[in-house]
Chains A and B, each alone.
Chain A
Amino acid sequence: MTTPSDITQTIGLTTQEVFVAQEPGTTKVMGLEDVTVTFRGRPAVRGVSFDAYEKEVTALIGPSGSGKTTLLRALNRMHDTERTAAVTGKIMLGDTNVNDRSTDPTLLRSRVGMVFQRPNPFPTMSIYENAVAGLRFNGVRKKSLLDEAAESALVAAALWDSVRERLKVSASTLSGGEQQRLCIARALAVEPEVLLMDEPTSALDPIATKRIEELIGELKDRVTIIIVTHNMQQAMRVSDRCAFLLMADDRSGELIEYAPTSKLFSEPDDPRTLDYVNGRFG
């Protein structure tokens, strides 16, 4: 019988590295089945099904109005705050149905984090307080855990080196790109299983955008990422799989094609996908 120590001795790695080096794209983290979002009874996104895998970045692409952001917001129950919105279908996170009424939205959101279009650090909190805000909201009081999680998240967001000396400074003193990375750190500190990103670079300049994109590539070992992007080149650069949404005649978004990014951009099955990725519309 082969034991882990045998394996690790043979290939010269520690057990931990063996664990981390697990093959991406094998473990399903989030599964959508026939997800429909309606506003006042009018569908904005209709019948979307796809799976997001561990250690992968899944991108939602499509023209304006195709329901990318609407769909993303269904994945952590953000539509709960909108009285006119209704979400149907199954959204499985492990064996929890996100969309089940009995699922506590606050607990769910500690497992599914979110980063928004515009950097939105809490302006009255310091950098440190921002980083641990999610932990505090979830009832964590242990100082050592707060510090450890904050440092780990700030390191992961490539912000630690520039802010370690000024953790007590107000977060609004940071630049736009730094603020967005703080927002990523804030989401990461709760150690979510999934991180939803809604056009996280649309308010940033190209240099800050590049840094965020590099970050996304580094983060996917830690958290499964689902990203909405308006920018096809960005989807190509950062994602492993791509879901292409397009509005139907009644203007509700539908999933046209879901495929590994390289396939979707080079030889998609649907002619509409080909037209879109070649910039013939949208």
Chain B
Amino acid sequence: MTTLSFDSSLDPILSRRAEIQKIASSSVKRRRVYSRIGIAVCLLCLIVACIPLLAIIGYTVAKGLPAWNSAFFTKNMLPEGIPGGGLYNAIIGTVIIDAIAIAVTVPFGVLGGLFLAESDGPVAGAVRFAADVLTGVPSITIGIFGYIIWVKNFGYSGYAGALAIGIIMVPVIMRAAETALRGVPINLYEAGLALGARKATVARKVTLPVALPGLITGVLLAVARGAGETAPLIFTIFGNQFLQTNPSKPMEALPIAIYSYSSQPYNDLIEIAWGGALLLMAVILVLNVGARLASARLRRERR
């Protein structure tokens, strides 16, 4: 006589469920350990990747901060052995050169990016490819290009430096602008068209304003990239011991000052070079962080 039992073995599904749940719960410890190991490895890689950045920042701050005094920011460069020199001329030179480069490249970059975002044709493909290649061209090559195009014809000048820096910035802005503009939902674009607007009107009134946070981020990141370049300037602005605010003349810039001072055998000049490196790094850091904060804030305000 058999006894009444709703044993799970009677139902193939129930018995399989029991077997699977047994395997799942007996392996859960092992799986948890694997998962923890995986997360630990990720964390370790993250830390290793951050070490160089933190080390560079720490070392530059330690070496450069002592050079920061009022003379550093307000006095021009002085020859070795004479105390009280600063990098005023280099700071002003960098500001002027980068301002010219930004003023010229932002319209090119943003409008080019708009074209790339709106068009998928062969021209856009070629431009996109060219921009990507240009991003990868070594900056010293661009310096030589600036030398041949400008310096050979008009001599060393701030304009030549701005040209070389601008060439580095344009593709960065263009691709960032394209990404930002492509992020604008297509239905906004269609809503504009459906009201009888022309493509250009929709772009100006709808697409560009919506993409503004991304555009600002892209521009600031490109500026940060351009401001730190040394090689394009070596061939184009020549360097200048004195304050020069006329960009048609040879000028000084922070990267050049760092480059020339750090190769001098005089401790006071090397210290000023560290100070310059810290300043440049701080500016770039501020630009990067500022870019993110600015776009995050714009996005928040719009909600």
Contact = CB atoms under 8 A, between A and B. Distances in A.
Interface string B55-69: 000000000000000
Nearest to A139: B27
A190 B3 CA distance: 30
A139 B29 CA distance: 11
A73 interface: no
Interface in A103-157: 104, 106-107, 110-111, 135, 138-140, 142, 145, 148-149, 152
Contacts of B1: 3, 5
Contact of B20 (A5, A104, A106, A110): A110
A193 B17 contact: yes
Given A15-B10, A19-B6, A145 B16 contact: yes
Contacts of A13: none
A4 interface: yes
A111 to B, nearest CB: 7
A111 B2 contact: no
Contact of B24 (A5, A7, A138, A148): A138
A16 interface: yes
Interface string B108-127: 00000000000000000000
A191 B16 contact: yes
B2 A106 contact: no
- B contact patch SS: helix
Contacts of A142: 23
A111 B2 CA distance: 32
Contacts of B16: 145, 148-149, 152, 191
Contact of A104 (B5, B12, B21, B28): B28
B27 A145 contact: no
A107 to B, nearest CB: 6
- A contact patch SS: helix
A105 B285 CA distance: 41
Nearest to B1: A3
Interface residues of B, number: 23
B23 A3 contact: no
A272 interface: no
A20 interface: yes
B82 interface: no
Contacts of B4: 2-4, 7
B2 A3 contact: yes
B14 to A, nearest CB: 8
B248 to A, nearest CB: 56
Given A4-B4, A152-B13, A222-B13, A145 B30 contact: no
27 contacts: A3-B4, A4-B2, A5-B1, A7-B4, A16-B11, A19-B11, A20-B11, A106-B28, A107-B24, A107-B25, A107-B28, A110-B20, A110-B21, A111-B21, A138-B20, A138-B24, A139-B24, A139-B26, A139-B28, A142-B23, A145-B16, A149-B20, A152-B12, A191-B13, A191-B20, A191-B21, A193-B17
